[in-house]
């Protein structure tokens, strides 16, 4: 994985971040949330 690919992947979802970006809709998901408040996507 190149540094560029790694950065792109981390931009999509970073479980260590306080907020995650939903991989489905791009909405912000609070770090403690287990589903996207925007579209309802359930995270791992
Ligand atoms: Zn979403």
| CA 10 to centroid of ligand 1, rounded, Å | 16
Q: Are 22 and 37 in contact (CB under 8 A)?
A: no
Please provide the DSSP assignment of the chain as one string. Answer: --HHHHHHHHHH--TTSSEEE-TTT--EEETT-SB-TTT-PBP-
pLDDT at site 43: 84
Cα(38) to centroid(ligand 1), Å: 5
Residue with tokens 């791009």: 26
Residues 9 and 16: beta-carbon distance below 8 Å: no
Q: Please, what is the average pLDDT of the chain?
A: 82
How far apart are the CA of 2 and the centre of ligand 1, in A? Answer: 27
pLDDT at 41: 95
* Unique residue bearing structure tokens 């971040």: 17
Ligand 1 centroid distance, CA of 33 (Å): 12
Tell me, what's the pLDDT at 10?
A: 65
**Ligand 1 center–CA 35 separation, angstroms:** 8
- Summarised one tens digit per residue, pLDDT across range 22-34 is 999 999 988 888 8
The pLDDT assigned to 16 comes to 59
Q: Is the pLDDT of residue 14 over 60?
A: no
């Amino acid at each position: 994985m190149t540094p560029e690919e790694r950065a792109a992947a981390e931009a999509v979802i970073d479980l260590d971040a306080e907020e995650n970006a939903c991989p489905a809709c791009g909405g912000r998901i609070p770090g403690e949330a287990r589903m996207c408040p925007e579209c309802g996507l359930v995270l791992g």
